[in-house]
Structure 1
Amino acid sequence: MSRNSLIYILTTLLRMMTLLVAISIVTFMLVMSSPIDPIDAYVGSESNISQEQRDNVAEYWGLNKAPAERYLIWAGNLLEGDMGTSITYRLPVSQVIAERFKASCILMGVAWVLSGLLGFIMGILAGVNKGRKLDRVLKTFCLTLSSAPTFWVGLLILMVFAVNLKWFPIGLAAPIGKLASDVTIWERIHHLILPAFTLSIIGVSNIALHTRQKIIDVLESDYVLFAKARGESTFSIVKRHGLRNIMLPAITLQFASFSELFGGSVLAEQVFSYPGLGNAVTQAGLKGDVPLFLGIALWSALFVFVGNFLANIIYGIVDPQIREGNAHG
């Protein structure tokens, strides 16, 4: 491993650690400022328990300590590999995240691939047909999607395809009342289609509009005009000159969309009652579950950071000039 590569890796790890510490502090302060009382959320706001019982609950979960002390205790346990226990699920936070991330990872992975492919193809089609009917239709579609809230789009899709047409189940990740071992792969896919479709079409517009503009810039460049003068077809021009120039910006946007994808999954999972991390973080926020909220916040930040790190690696694969530049930098 070269010296430059080692410096880059160490710098990246330092940035990641700094980011995680900052996010944990900000997240903890936001949860502490929430008007939700975790004791009321734990026992139920209508529950008539004595003050002594409330004090026992607070002592059991460490809620009677000062905020700064609670954070330092949590941070110390985290360094030892203990993310704490979820007040909501009464399970270790690491276990809750591991179980929920499996479902969210499948949902976000499918939506991420679909949004990237559809957005890239739509952007090329719109750019090649600039000013024509297809371009106007695709551009209007993308602008409408970019201004539409994920929650509203999810409800609309749910009403049309699940309630009215009854083509898909209303929610959940598997049929109700069926053991997990008895659920078939086709049943899981059937329950996955609507939330994945909802999440994917939200991310299509950014990729499509950006790719459209990039392909237009390429097609209007001097070397492409010269290629057209030589009689080269549009397909050949896009394939030989356009793809590499528009692929890097598309990859940048796609990997940068990890944070938006995670945020969108929170709303999509709520609409479709999908048992993933998004659903868990909503429950943690509503019940003042500090350990779970902090754990998911750190995990999502790590998820986004790794995505951006992978993008830098893929740049070198897609464009060898970048790889050579890094090697001699």
Structure 2
Amino acid sequence: MEQWIGFAIRTLARFALLMAAVSVVVFVLVSASPIDPVQANVGQAAYVGMSGAKRAQLASYWGADVPLAERYLNWAAALLRGDLGTSLRFNAPVGQVIAQRAINSLALLGIAWVASGVIGAVLGVVAGVRRDGWVDRLIKGYCFVLASTPTFWLGLLVLTVFAVQLGWFPMGFSVPIGKSAADVTLADSLRHLALPALTLSVIGVSNIALHTREKTIDVLQSDFVKFALSRGQGMRTVLRRHGLRNIALPALTLQFASLAEIFGGSVLVEQVFSYPGLGQAAITAGLGSDVALLAGIALFSAAFVFTGNVVANTLYAAVDPRILREQRS
């Protein structure tokens, strides 16, 4: 029990340090950006014809004339009070923008996360059982190609084939264009979600499949499996009764650890498909130097990825308590 309490305290301490480091890095990087927030948000033509007084007024509104340290301390003090600030790009509270966009992003991430885990685990088990056969070589080649394929290129390819040429799915967005929110059905949302989720699910397949393949091979070479096979039990029976329990947990922990990869890929996928999620909002905030929104999204994404890693570490520690003892020492 004491080991788990210590583990929880260390986890919370690391989480607090992570949040502080992420916020500082975001503020420093945005301040070092050559993008002028006033010019980026009013447009080049309007900026050229604008008076000096108006430029100064807009610079004060965007906080461009406030020193970095003072701006960060003001934002951090408001954050401690539960105020993430106001998004100047969307003219709304940051918390509200994140809440609206997070619904779309979490739906996309959830479907892609489950699909990549299931497909990767199945492919890994099949490749491990058919080791060194043509099926194994085909799956490994498929995984290596996926691992080296840029996410944005794959998204453009999927969009071109299934939306433009075949016309099976819409070009993008999360709802049909020109349709009111009250008239949007679940089928409409799923059709718009299909291609981004398909593209994003492909990202996490290769690592899970290759890891599951190696674990399957280790299990099949173990003594208890060889003993079960020598007793005349079939391969499917052996895998179902003895193998899957030893294969599933490592695959599950790797699946939670892959949240960072999937979340990072969602930024590019949402941009390619014009999907209104957190990834697209982050790009909009970055191009417009919307520091408050960008910092809020960065904190949300860091907390999301950190939670996935904590769940993965907890599962590992539950299986092997030596991990807790090593962290304690």
- Range class of TM-score, shorter chain: over 0.9
TM-score of the pair, normalised by structure 2: 0.93
Letter aligned with residue 172 of structure 1: F
Q: Deviations over 1:106-154 (max 9, x none)?
A: 0000000000001001100111011222112111111111100110111
Match for residue 230 of structure 1?
Answer: 231
Distance in 2 between residues matched to 1:205 and 1:242, nearest whole Å: 21
Instruction: Report the CA distance between 1:311 and its aligned residue.
Output: 2.9
Question: Could you tell me whether the CA contact under 8 Å between 1:42 and 1:87 is conserved in 2?
Answer: no
Instruction: Report the CA distance between 1:72 and its aligned residue.
Output: 0.8
Question: Could you tell me whether the CA contact under 8 Å between 2:125 and 2:212 is conserved in 1?
Answer: yes
Question: Could you tell me whether the CA contact under 8 Å between 1:168 and 1:190 is conserved in 2?
Answer: yes
Distance in 1 between residues matched to 2:32 and 2:239, nearest whole Å: 53
Letter aligned with residue 42 of structure 2: V
Q: Please state if 1:307 is matched with 2:308.
A: yes
Match for residue 151 of structure 2?
Answer: 150
Match for residue 136 of structure 2?
Answer: 135
Distance in 1 between residues matched to 2:31 and 2:164, nearest whole Å: 40
Q: Please state if 1:12 is matched with 2:21.
A: no
Match for residue 24 of structure 2?
Answer: 25
Task: Report how many aligned residue pairs link the two structures.
Answer: 324
Identity %: 54
Distance in 1 between residues matched to 2:115 and 2:321, nearest whole Å: 27
Match for residue 196 of structure 1?
Answer: 197
**Tell me, which stretches of 5 or more residues in structure 2 are unaligned?**
none
Match for residue 96 of structure 2?
Answer: 95
Instruction: Report the CA distance between 1:314 and its aligned residue.
Output: 4.5
Letter aligned with residue 166 of structure 2: L
Instruction: Report the CA distance between 1:316 and its aligned residue.
Output: 7.0
Instruction: Report the CA distance between 1:219 and its aligned residue.
Output: 1.1
Distance in 1 between residues matched to 2:240 and 2:29, nearest whole Å: 49
The SS at the match of 2:204 is: helix
Distance in 2 between residues matched to 1:63 and 1:77, nearest whole Å: 18
Match for residue 281 of structure 1?
Answer: 282
Distance in 1 between residues matched to 2:114 and 2:144, nearest whole Å: 20
1:16-55 correspondence to structure 2 within 5 Å: 16-47=15-46, 48-55=49-56
Distance in 1 between residues matched to 2:304 and 2:188, nearest whole Å: 28
Q: Deviations over 1:286-327 (max 9, x none)?
A: 11111111110000000111122233445577x5x659x89x
Letter aligned with residue 271 of structure 2: Q
Letter aligned with residue 37 of structure 2: P
The SS at the match of 1:173 is: coil
1:130-279 correspondence to structure 2 within 5 Å: 130-279=131-280
TM-score of the pair, normalised by structure 1: 0.93
The SS at the match of 2:92 is: coil
Q: Deviations over 1:43-66 (max 9, x none)?
A: 112212112111101112322111
Distance in 1 between residues matched to 2:181 and 2:78, nearest whole Å: 33
Letter aligned with residue 208 of structure 1: A
**Tell me, which stretches of 5 or more residues in structure 1 are unaligned?**
none
Distance in 1 between residues matched to 2:192 and 2:264, nearest whole Å: 20
Distance in 2 between residues matched to 1:3 and 1:203, nearest whole Å: 35
- Tell me the C-alpha RMSD between the 2 structures: 1.9
The SS at the match of 2:86 is: coil
